[in-house]
Amino acid sequence: MVALQQSIEDIEEKECVECVIRACDQGILLMQYVHLGRSGLKVSRLCLGTMNFGPKTSEADSFAIMDRALELGINFFDTANVYGWKVGEGLTEQIVGRWLAQGGGRRGKVVLATKVFGRMGEWPNQSRLSALHIKRSCEASLRRLQTDCIDLYQMHHVDRETPWEEIWQAMEQLVREGKVLYVGSSNFAGWHLAQAQELARSRHFFGLVSEQSLYNLNERTIELEVIPACEAYGIGLIPWSPLARGLLAGALEPAKVGRRADEDLKKDVEKYRPKLEAYDALCTQLGERPADVALAWLLHQKAVTSPIIGPRTMEQLDGTMHAMSLTLSQDTLKRLDDIFPGPGGPAPEAYAW
């Protein structure tokens, strides 16, 4: 216990994060909390993604996973109005809402994030980021989630057809009404982040507090522009697909069911086979699972706030916790860079000078 406390103090000193020791049936667990971007809001270093809730995970199992996440110290839950993949139903939000409605302090413990942009109906104004769709989508999400406020309301994609003046006016109104606390983005380019933040600043509005981007060992394009923009504007980075859709989770092992059996993944395995073979060999040498190394690598990246984990089962959720305590040496990080080279750093240095 003394050694654990010393490690916590070392982490806090080096990374400016808050660490909490939690006791559960797995023994003593360590959860770290960090500010979401430049805000005063603290979120867990792992974010619970709920995209599987409904389509792949039953409601009962989803409830159990969310309860378990709280027990493990995960306080950051992410969903979207389109999850469930039945147009207009918001199935996953409904599941999360029914879980929250059980009470027991659930809502007060959770930093609740959802998204707007995707199609929620067949009529012209039932998608994208018009002020009308933002307002209606927010109110519909609040009803499905059975709450009076969305902690983090994220634009699921940039909308090149709607001016930022209109988008920010709509978001500002939701904040004034107390229906939204913070605004985030997802799948934005670096220049979109800059454009959005500069206009928000001119309107004396806080603007974006986070950006969700595709980021993992095999997908590092955002290191060119998005990460530098996030760092410059104090925007927290929330990586999605940390295991590259299963590619970094032992995809070389054959499987008849599950994600590794997916035909698209099998094609990716053949495309990246030399890298994956070198990666699996390194993980074997380290004595660690490939999925844990991939997640730990993200947690070692300075710009990353909370990678999104999307467990389908309780076992998958419990399994991710090991990455929290996995320290990768500088030699290991260099070897990972050799196997999965990024774009060369930020632009323009990555391709010019």
- In sequence order, what are the beta bridge partners of 178? none
- Find the helix packing angle between 330-339 and 273-286, rounded to 10°: 160
Instruction: List, in sequence order, the alpha helices (H) in 113-154.
Output: 131-145
CA separation for the pair 93, 116 (Å, rounded) = 12
Going by C-alpha positions, the residue among 317, 333, 284, 332 that lies closest to residue 276 is: 284
- Helix, strand, or coil (residue 39): coil
The whole-angstrom distance between residue 82's C-alpha and the CA centroid of its chain comes to 16
**Which tokens belong to 214?**
């595709």
Bridge partners (DSSP) listed for residue 313: none
Sign for the pseudo-dihedral over CA of 330, 335, 340, 343: positive
Residues sharing a CB contact under 8 Å with residue 42, sequence separation 6 or more, in sequence order: 18, 33, 34, 35, 36
Picking from 22, 47, 43, 24, the residue whose alpha carbon sits closest to that of residue 33 is 43
Active site residues: 83
Checking 314-318 for CB contacts under 8 A at 24+ apart, the result is 314/61, 314/64, 314/65, 314/68, 317/48, 317/65, 317/68, 317/69, 317/72, 318/26, 318/68, 318/72
Cβ atoms of 20 and 33 closer than 8 Å: yes
Phi, psi of 280 (to 5 degrees): -60, -35
